Amino acid sequence: MIYNQWYVILSSQEVKKNQVLGVKRLGMNLVVWRDSKGKPGVTRDKCPHRGIKLSLGKVKDDHLQCPFHGFEYNQDGECKLIPANGRANAIPEHIRAGRYPVKEANGFLYLWNTPDPGKLVLKNEKGITDNNSGTDDQTQSKQDPPLPWFDDLDDSLFSSNMKDHWKAHYSRVIENQLDVVHVPFIHRTTIGRGIGPVVNGPYTKIFENGLSYWPWNEQDNGQTPLRPGQMPEPLNKETFLTFLFPNLWQNHIMEKLRVVIAFVPVDETNTILYLRTYQKMVTNPLIRNLFLWLTSLYNRIILHQDRRVVETHQPQETRLKMEENLISGDFPIVSYRKKRDELKNKFVM
């Protein structure tokens, strides 16, 4: 995983007010919970007292209560009550639950991946604090690294959601969506029907936190395909695909139809995909819901065509330098690996 990044870890709707949810994300056992106002918190799923799973506990007086001895923790990880010691006694400062900075936006919960979840105020290499440190939200928003999201998605688009579990490392699942070479083969009965195997480019734009690419496949008529550096700027500005680090992707099919996927790492061999279809072609509520349901069903079929082969990758985690023989059409994948290595190397334990 990459440190000092905002990872999407859950859909907002999966955690209700006063609810406690135990999950595994980024290889860590976490407890996600909301207080009575709906504010989310993310804590290590381990009570610092005796190591019990806090996810077996409950929310009490806007604190996370351990089920074993009743210790209570706030969303900053501070212990606020040790029942056995009585309310009048001071609480030792070293009794803290390891917690992670969390933000909520775009219908997702984002977690700041840090190697030191015990800190009250997290600072990265730029001296940026997290939004659970008690600072003013407006001041904080000017300091924080922006949450990865797509600026061209707005409230005029209706959306549907689906969730899918893959037994694969999240980097391999991401690369599958950057792979334009496999489409006419794996998806020959769906989105790859009629698409030629010869890959021009793809034309790829690389920016600070991700990349966009424009596939251009053709039938094989004996021509030599254009390499990425030979590609002219695409005339079709409406159809393209974008990946944002660390784990968001959008297929911009057209202005009125998009598919967004959050590739959520569970551990080294499991990934959960949160897929959303956004559209504003159909506005009638009844027809719209049917359209979104059918689109989600079709997307699931496409994903499962990919899943059966992606789960067989060896090794599972991808790296820039590994025993693979990449070709020109793999340029978006190479670009992803280079940027991922760069981000991982910014922080060395």
Secondary structure (H, E, C), 163-180: EEEECCCHHHHHHHHHCC
Sign of the torsion angle spanned by Cα atoms 17, 23, 26, 27 = positive
Q: Does the structure show a pLDDT above 60 at 132?
A: no
Q: Which residues, 6 or more positions from 325, have their beta carbon under 8 angstroms from its beta carbon?
A: none
With tokens 């009585």, the residue in question is 86
CATH 2.40.160.20 assigned to 6-143: no
Q: Does the structure show a pLDDT above 80 at 175?
A: yes
* pLDDT: which is higher, 98 or 32: 32
Q: Does the structure show a pLDDT above 50 at 322?
A: yes
Q: Does the structure show a pLDDT above 70 at 125?
A: no
CA 84 to chain centre: 41
Mean per-residue pLDDT, 136-157: 70
Q: Which CATH architecture has domain 158-345?
A: Alpha-Beta Complex (3.90)
Q: Tell me if domain 6-143 and domain 158-345 are identical in fold.
A: no
Supply φ then ψ for residue 22, to 5 degrees. Answer: -90, 130
Output the pLDDT for position 130: 44
Q: Which residues, 6 or more positions from 260, have their beta carbon under 8 angstroms from its beta carbon?
A: 150, 153, 248, 249, 250, 251, 275, 276, 278
Output the pLDDT for position 138: 36
* pLDDT: which is higher, 143 or 301: 301
Output the pLDDT for position 117: 66
Q: How many Cα atoms are found within 13 Å in the side-chain-facing hemisphere of 277? A: 20
Q: How many residues does the chain have?
A: 349
What residues does each domain of the chain span?
Answer: 6-143, 158-345
Exposed, middle or buried, 35 (CB in 10 Å: 0-12/13-18/19+)? middle
Output the pLDDT for position 140: 40
Which letter does DSSP use for residue 154 in this model? -
Q: Does the structure show a pLDDT above 60 at 112?
A: yes
pLDDT band at 135 (very low <50, low <70, confident <90, very high): very low
Structure tokens that stand for 104 in this block = 């909520």
Contact 215, 241 (CB under 8 A): yes
Structure tokens that stand for 142 in this block = 């000017």
pLDDT band at 133 (very low <50, low <70, confident <90, very high): very low
Q: Does the structure show a pLDDT above 70 at 137?
A: no
Mean per-residue pLDDT, 169-179: 97
SS3 assignment, position 108: strand
Output the pLDDT for position 286: 86
The interaxial angle of helices 285-310 and 170-178, nearest 10 deg, is 110
Question: Of 154-168, 191-205, 289-303, which gets the smallest average pLDDT?
Answer: 154-168
Output the pLDDT for position 156: 78
Output the pLDDT for position 145: 85
Distance CA 276, CA 296 (A): 8
DSSP structure string for 8-53: EEEEGGGS-TT-EEEEEETTEEEEEEE-TT--EEEEESS-TTT---
Distance CA 42, CA 271 (A): 19
Output the pLDDT for position 348: 58
Mean per-residue pLDDT, 187-209: 95
pLDDT per residue as tens digits for the range 246-272: 999 999 999 999 999 999 999 999 999
Contact 27, 268 (CB under 8 A): yes
SS3 assignment, position 241: strand
Query: Mean pLDDT score of the chain, rounded to an integer?
Result: 90
Q: What is the pTM of this model?
A: 0.89
The interaxial angle of helices 170-178 and 331-345, nearest 10 deg, is 140
Distance CA 246, CA 262 (A): 9
